[in-house]
Amino acid sequence: MENGRQHKHVVMLPFMAQGHMIPFLALARQIEQRTGYAITIATTPINAVYLRSSISSSTTTTTTTIRVVELPFCSADHGLPPNTENTEALPNHHIMTLFRASQTLEPSFHNLVSTITEKYGEPPLCIIADVFFGWSVDVAMRFGSFHVGFTTCGGYGTAAYISLWLNLPHRHTDSDDFTVPGFPETCRFLRSQLNPTLRSADGTDPWSTVFRRELQLSLRSNGFLCNTVEEMETFGLEALRAVTGIPVWPIGPLQPPAFLNLPCTTDSNLSSSRSVKKHGIAPENCIKWLDYHPPGSVLYISFGSQNTINPTQMMELAMGVEASGKAFIWVVRPPVGFDINGEFKAEWLPEGFEERVTESRRGLVVRTWAPQLEILSHKSTGAFLSHCGWNSSLESLSQGVPIIGWPLVAEQAYNSKMMEEEMGVCVELARGPDSRVLSEEVERVIELVMGEGEKGKEMKMKASEAAKKIRAAVREGDQLGSSVKALDDFLQTALSKRHENADEAMTRRAIAAGQ
């Protein structure tokens, strides 16, 4: 039996999406560095291959002991296309199938925790599971492990997402705007801010059934870890604490140390230090292109790891960007209705668009995946036209880059609302996958945010303030930042509850056995 620091074991269970895997891996690295505990990440076979290569691709001077264990999963058994285990590879109508299929991981996860418990002579110190895996709370309880739900979203976005799914407040009013339990009366939400599946949810449809069950179960955790910063999201975290009623530790941003200018042991480049996704352009070529442009002059456009816009929106966006006269990097993938992993066709953009902007060095059109961290941390990047996925939002704000919001699905519209209303760092250009977007509006908003006007200057200033708060939160040394303290506090709490949780588990087992 192993002993010493390695004896303590943390088991992690990320949801199968890029936007979840990336922060989970970053969290695993931080816990390993701070504690030396053994860490096991459990996931499906294809995601395990991806995670293992992401871990080994970052050449660190210290060796890692993070272990990735496969939970058996065959996508075809669940009616999913063969070899698809990640939202990224899935057409939208299959996403719910993946969610449902992910619930079947419970028995093999239980076996894994059981094996670890036998091997180490005690249950894992802690199970850190995605909030979408509420079923894992029961597994933790059976073994007496501390359990936290990890939300890879922000405080405000998570609070709104959970409260909306659990309470469906829009079903109790005909009004277009309404309040959401956990948020003050003055904070009104709009029907148009709800993801289409939530807007039509009645509590019995497949989306409601899965989300309401998993989120409800997740609230039985010992607490939540949240990828955000206390000082930046005071209001959102207050709402999250009110909605969940359990401790919340804001431990973000979970980004590579070098991206935050922290001392680090990684010597590979930023993007490949966290993911082995194949880039549509080599990071060094992207940096070279950016070097050519003046500070703050480039607009970066991306809709995250799994979303895309429709053909009409793509045309209007292209025309608006071209008319704005601003330099840009645009990560393009086939529009809605076409194979997202298929070839990109020139006809989806205005005639001669790519040739014109490439020749004049006005634009860089990148296929599928870009080195986002290199782009956002480059001084030439002045604004980010984003779908407001939380990782992208936080990455932009870490670098003081203001946002032009075009939220599409999930909790993205709440992030956009929060960044616009609470922080003043975002202007929403469009909302939702079906929004009508005109090129003139694209041009107007780009000018508003990147031009010389007061609004643009104010947004830039507020984004820089956010960046300062974010960097202060991850400070090491004499004056520990709030996120570092929160991570230590969470680990300390897990340690101090160890015996209490084990005793409770023993009592539960005894009751179950009829003693």
Residues that bind ligand UDP (CB under 6 A): 17-19, 22, 271, 302, 304-307, 331, 369-370, 372, 389-392, 395
Residue with tokens 């984003």: 386
Question: Residue 133's closest CA among 159, 157, 110?
Answer: 110
CB-CB contact of 441 with 320 (8 Å): yes
Q: Are 349 and 321 in contact (CB under 8 A)?
A: no
Cβ(162)–Cβ(226) under 8 Å? no
To ligand UDP, the closest distance from the beta carbon of 179 in angstroms equals 26
Distances (CA, A) of 199 to 165, 205, 407, 446, 511: 10, 12, 15, 30, 43
Q: How far is the CB of 239 from ligand UDP (least distance, A)?
A: 20
Q: Count of CB atoms within 10 A of residue 266's CB?
A: 18
Q: How far apart are CA 54 and CA 373, in angstroms?
A: 16
Q: How far is the CB of 403 from ligand UDP (least distance, A)?
A: 11
Looking at the DSSP bridge assignments, the partners of residue 224 are 149, 248
Q: What is the DSSP letter of 152?
A: S
| β-sheet bridge partners, residue 12 | 41, 128
CB of 401 to ligand UDP, least distance (A): 12
Q: Which is nearer to ligand UDP, 182 or 304 (CB)?
A: 304
Least separation in angstroms between residue 89's CB and ligand UDP is 13
Nearest distance from residue 307's CB to ligand UDP, in Å?
Answer: 6
- Nearest distance from C-beta of residue 271 to ligand UDP, angstroms: 6
The DSSP string of 201-222 is --SSSHHHHHHHHHHHHHTTSS
Q: Which is nearer to ligand UDP, 35 or 399 (CB)?
A: 399
Tell me the closest approach of the beta carbon of residue 386 to ligand UDP, in angstroms: 7
- The strand pairing partners of 383, in sequence order, are 299
At closest approach, how far in Å is the CB of 303 from ligand UDP? 8
What's the closest the beta carbon of residue 500 comes to ligand UDP, in angstroms? 35
Nearer to ligand UDP, 40 or 305 (CB): 305
Say if residues 404 and 384 touch (Cβ distance below 8 Å). Answer: yes
Rank residues 139 and 429 by Cβ distance to ligand UDP and give the closer one: 429
Nearer to ligand UDP, 25 or 125 (CB): 25
The pair phi, psi for residue 407, each rounded to 5°, is -65, 145
Minimal distance in Å, beta carbon 371 to ligand UDP? Answer: 7
* C-beta closer to ligand UDP: residue 19 or 252: 19
Query: What amino acid is encoded at 224 in this protein?
Result: F
Residue closer to ligand UDP, measured from CB, 141 or 418: 418
Neighbouring C-alpha atoms within 13 Å toward the C-beta of 144: 19
Cβ–Cβ under 8 Å, residues 110 and 124: no
In angstroms, the CA 515 to CA 504 distance is 14
How many other CB atoms sit within 10 Å of the CB of residue 288? 10
Q: Between 113 and 370, whose beta carbon lies closer to ligand UDP?
A: 370
Compute φ and ψ for 384, nearest 5 degrees: -125, 115
Can you read off the two tokens belonging to residue 81? 């296309």
Q: Which is nearer to ligand UDP, 182 or 389 (CB)?
A: 389
Closer to ligand UDP by CB, 270 or 486: give it: 270
Please identify which residue in the block is written with the tokens 């409770």.
504
* Contact by Cβ (8 Å): 402, 384: yes
Question: Looking at beta carbons only, is 335 or 389 nearer to ligand UDP?
Answer: 389
Q: Please give the Cα distance from 452 to 356 (Å, whole number).
A: 26
Computed from CA positions of residues 452, 453, 456, 460, in that sequence, does the dihedral angle turn out positive or negative? positive
